[in-house]
Amino acid sequence: MAQILALKGSKKLLNAWAFYDWANSVYSLVISSAIFPLFYGLLFRTAGIEQVTIFGGEIARAPLISYVTSLAFIFIAIVTPLVSGVADYLGNKKVFLKFFCYLGAASCIGLYWFSLEYIYFGLLCYFFGLVGFWVSFAINNSYLPDIAYPEQQDRISAKGFSMGYIGSVILLVFNLAMVMKPDFFGITDSGGEIAEIKAMKYSFISVGIWWILFSQYTFAHLPKGYKREGKRDHIVLNGFKELKLVWHQLGENQKLKRYLGAFFVYSMAVQTIMLIATYFGEEEIVWGSDNERTMGLIVSILLIQIVAILGATVTAWASKGFGNIRTLVVINVIWALLCIYAYFLQTPMDFYIAAGLVGVVMGGIQALSRSTYSKFLPETTDTTSFFSFYDVAEKIGIIIGTFLYGVVAQLTGSMRNSTVFLGIFFLIGIFLLLRVNKVKPSN
């Protein structure tokens, strides 16, 4: 009955779609940005080691998690189009959305057993947590043109990101309270494990439960999907054929093609900065003590998330008055200036200011990029394959961006130089965005 009532453009359907951001954004904040990085470092420091033996060789903790992350994104870039093509062809993309949601949530819960003794299992959970989050996020993105009309897409996309920021901050604050005051929650040292680490493990369970619980509202109202017509030969390989088909269609839609090129370039820099911001702050800022460093980084992460809510809302408002492309150009200019500013950061206050500015443009560029792409799509029910192409472009950008960032940092001996280097991508992105509206839509 819910499927019948939840018509395209209806408030119920729009809210149900946006609510998935509330459900899954706790992963990106609690696991990726805050608690897990702290847990991972503390685990090694408590054991008094910096390296582990894995696959027959010694490897330091930082490169280890970096390699697993890169491998996960390569896997995601391959799996996303495969799943998307099959989902559109069979018309059951909600089944795939559920599968990867539950895979990611179960993997978060599995991180409770992450230990140096069972390092393979722990890394596997970390790996599939990334896969579950990003693939389900891509599938949910593909619903946007299905559930909202073009004039609604900027607003509901921004609403989704805002809800995600709010929900993730709520759970993060609760988890940080557990970590900082474990005795208040009845968490004590036991079995040779300190209370702080146990509290962090409980936070991983809370993320999995939150993700599963709140996604049910989305699942109850989203449509099953649109079934493709025609023969069902080679369904498994159909996803890659769909990507090829999308690529050919891009050739017929120069406006969409040029926008995708711009998105690929500037998103490469945005996603890289989001992934390395915590590590940059830890290494380059003069915090004083270890406690001040930990608290400073936590405050910065919370600041980014809270300000991002405002950023997503203001950007949606600006796009109404000035247009999507012009607004994206301005946001890219701000990002480029931030990259230059980052080179001169020294004090915690400098970092807090940078974090606040990052929050404004981070929320805006993510929400507006998603809705702009949706608006440029041709009339089609094959939305999953088009958004698969979008997400694969983003993931390849992450792989390239993080690799280049590491190379520049290694060759120059400074993460500051890498940050300035990323500013070049925003300048290129501005140039490419300015070319988008010079092309008339082919249709």
User: Tens of pLDDT along 129-144?
Assistant: 999 998 998 888 878 7
Domain-embedded: residue 234: no
Domain-embedded: residue 237: no
- 205 and 298 within one domain: no
The single residue listed with the structure tokens 């959305």 is 97
Q: What would the pLDDT profile of 277-323 be if each residue is shown by its tens digit?
A: 776 777 778 887 766 777 787 788 888 877 877 887 888 888 888 88
- Structural domain of 304: 247-438
Domain final residue pick, 200, 228, 256: 228
- 426 and 279 within one domain: yes
CATH of the domain at 282: 1.20.1250.20
Indicate the range of 182-186, 264-268, 326-330, 367-371 predicted with least confidence.
Answer: 367-371
Domain-embedded: residue 236: no
- 417 and 373 within one domain: yes
Q: At what angle do helices 254-284 and 415-436 cross, to 10 degrees?
A: 160
Domain-embedded: residue 242: no
Q: What would the pLDDT profile of 408-432 be if each residue is shown by its tens digit?
A: 776 777 778 888 888 999 999 999 9
Cα of 247 vs its chain's centroid, Å: 24
- 223 and 297 within one domain: no
Strand partners, 190: 193
- 184 and 56 within one domain: yes
pLDDT of residue 424: 92
- 83 and 187 within one domain: yes
How far, in Å, are 65, 192, 278, 343, 372 from residue 425 at the CA level? 25, 48, 21, 16, 19
- 366 and 276 within one domain: yes
- 253 and 139 within one domain: no
- 289 and 143 within one domain: no
pLDDT band for 3, please (50, 70, 90 cuts): very low
- 273 and 196 within one domain: no
Domain final residue pick, 193, 228, 263: 228
Domain-embedded: residue 154: no
Contact of 61 with 52, CB cutoff 8 Å? yes
Domain-embedded: residue 358: yes
- 140 and 271 within one domain: no
Domain final residue pick, 174, 199, 228: 228
Domain-embedded: residue 287: yes
The total domain count for the chain is 2
Q: How many Å is the maximal CA-CA distance in the chain?
A: 67
d(CA 97, CA 133): 10
Domain-embedded: residue 235: no
- 387 and 275 within one domain: yes
Q: What would the pLDDT profile of 258-271 be if each residue is shown by its tens digit?
A: 888 898 899 888 88
